[in-house]
C-alpha cells in the first residue's frame, strides 16, 4: 500500500515521514530485538528512500552486529529503525508510527530465540529464524 504516514520517538525529538508502500508487520523474537525493546519487536519495512526525517537531532545509530545498524533516540531511548548494510530497505518499529497505521502482523521470526515468559498463540506463521 502507498501511504503517507508519520511517526517518531517518545519525546518527539525524532520525527519521520513515510511516503511509499509499507510491508506488513513481522514480529521478531531474536535476543537483540528483545534487548533493544524489552520484549519482541514488531517492524514494518519500506525502501529507505521513502523515509524523510523531519527532525533527527537526537537520532543515533548503533552497530548491533556485523551488517546491521539500529536507530534510536539518544534522549528518550526509543527503538526506531533497523537497517542492514547494503540493503535498500529500512525497518521501522511499528509502535513508533502514528495511528492509524492500517498495518497487521503477518508472522513471527526468530521464535527459536524467544524468551520463556510468553507464548505465541495468535495462529500466525512462525519461523525459527528469518
Q: Do 55 and 14 meet the contact criterion of CB atoms below 8 Å apart?
A: yes
Report how many domains make up the chain. 1
Q: Report yes or no on 128 lying in a domain.
A: no
User: Across the chain, what does the average pLDDT equal?
Assistant: 96
Task: State which H helix or E strand residue 32 sits in.
Answer: helix 31-37
Whether 43 is covered by a domain: the verdict is yes
Instruction: Give the residue-averaged pLDDT of 107-114.
Output: 97
pLDDT in tens, 12-71: 999 999 999 999 999 999 999 999 999 999 999 999 999 999 999 999 999 999 999 999
Model pTM above 0.75 = yes
Buried b (16+ CB within 10 A) or exposed e, 89-126: ebbbbbbbbeeeeebeeeebbbbebbeeeeeeeeeeeb
Domain containing residue 22: 2-113
Q: What is the CATH number of the domain that holds 16?
A: 2.170.150.70
Amino acid at each position: 500500500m502507498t501511504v503517507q504516514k508519520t511517526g517518531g520517538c517518545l519525546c518527539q525529538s525524532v520525527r519521520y515521514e513515510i511516503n511509499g508502500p509499507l510491508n506488513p508487520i513481522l514480529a521478531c523474537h531474536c535476543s537483540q530485538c528483545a534487548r533493544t525493546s524489552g520484549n519482541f519487536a514488531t517492524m514494518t519495512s519500506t525502501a529507505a528512500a521513502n523515509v524523510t526525517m523531519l527532525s533527527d537531532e537526537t537520532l543515533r545509530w548503533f552497530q548491533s552486529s556485523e551488517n546491521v545498524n539500529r536507530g534510536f533516540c539518544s534522549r528518550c531511548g526509543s527503538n526506531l529503525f533497523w537497517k542492514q548494510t547494503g540493503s535498500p530497505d529500512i525497518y521501522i518499529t511499528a509502535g513508533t508510527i502514528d495511528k492509524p497505521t492500517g498495518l497487521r502482523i503477518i508472522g513471527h521470526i526468530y521464535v527459536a530465540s524467544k524468551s520463556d515468559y510468553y507464548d505465541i498463540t495468535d495462529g500466525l506463521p512462525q519461523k525459527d529464524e528469518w
